[in-house]
Amino acid sequence: MIAAKNSNEKALPPAVSDASNRSWPARHPRLFTFLLSAVIVWAVDTAGYIYIYPHSIYNALERAIVSRGIGAMPGGIPINTIYTMPDLASPYMVKSDPLVGPNHDTLYAIGWLDLSREPQVLHVPDMAGRYYSVEFVDSWGDIFAYVGRRTTGTQAGDYLISGPGWRGALPPGVTQISSPDNTVFLIGRVLVESYRDLATAYILENQIQLTPLSHWQSGP
């Protein structure tokens, strides 16, 4: 005989499987592993692109300029010197030199600075209203300072480029430019009005000079 069911007895809830009690990663281990791997790869690639790629390009450009030079400069450009290009850019230069896309109405001055031992003093002549610029690029590829008609005018001037943490005495009449790195890429530009103006522009460009601070004490 089957006992009568007590009407007051509460029905038990249906049994819940172990699978439904497990968390989402436990229920989908392969998908979770794939998504986690994708996030890690994305984070590593992003960090590499942001923090490593700019330095790689910068270092490659430095090696190319120091070892091969620019334009007609044979044997490279020594550190802490400026090479002033005597001629306007040509199609051959665009193809063969690391300075990509130069202007055809501009004379370029190129240098790579090492400020780890001491600052360098940049001298620019009186450009008499002519457009010119000297920009300073750090190892991230960012322009951190700029000397030229747009910011400092066209009068003669002297600028001390110092590395991070330098605390020396600034010579009288010299403006300090603090670099975030001890390595600096310097790019100078002098406008050439016409082919007849080329010689005058080069004379002015050739007066853009670098001098170590230790040699500057007695004058450039």
- Report the pLDDT averaged over residues 68-74: 56
Lowest mean pLDDT among 64-73, 152-161, 210-219: 64-73
Please report the pLDDT score of residue 49 as a whole number: 47
The residue behind tokens 């249906």 is 14
Q: Check whether 103 has a pLDDT greater than 90.
A: no
Q: What is the CATH number of the domain that holds 206?
A: 2.60.40.1610
Q: Check whether 2 has a pLDDT greater than 60.
A: no
Residues 128-151: tens digit of each pLDDT? 999 999 999 988 888 899 999 999
Number of domains in the chain: 1
The alpha-helical segments, DSSP class H, found in the chain are 18-21, 24-27, 29-47, 53-68, 91-96, 198-205, 213-216
Grade residue 174 by pLDDT with cuts at 50, 70 and 90. Answer: very high
Tell whether 32 is covered by a domain: no
Give the strands of the sheet with 209-212, arranged side by side. Answer: 175-178, 157-162, 120-124, 209-212
Residue 129 and residue 135: Cα distance in Å, rounded?
Answer: 18
Please report the pLDDT score of residue 166 as a whole number: 93
Tell whether 43 is covered by a domain: no
Please report the pLDDT score of residue 10 as a whole number: 56
Tell whether 145 is covered by a domain: yes
The residue behind tokens 């300090």 is 176
Task: Check if the beta carbon of residue 197 is closer than 8 Å to that of residue 106.
Answer: no
The residue behind tokens 């692109």 is 49
Residue 180's nearest CA partner among 198, 162, 205, 193 is 162
Tell whether 115 is covered by a domain: yes
Tell whether 34 is covered by a domain: no
Tell whether 42 is covered by a domain: no
Tell whether 27 is covered by a domain: no
Note down the domain range covering 211.
64-216
Tell whether 201 is covered by a domain: yes
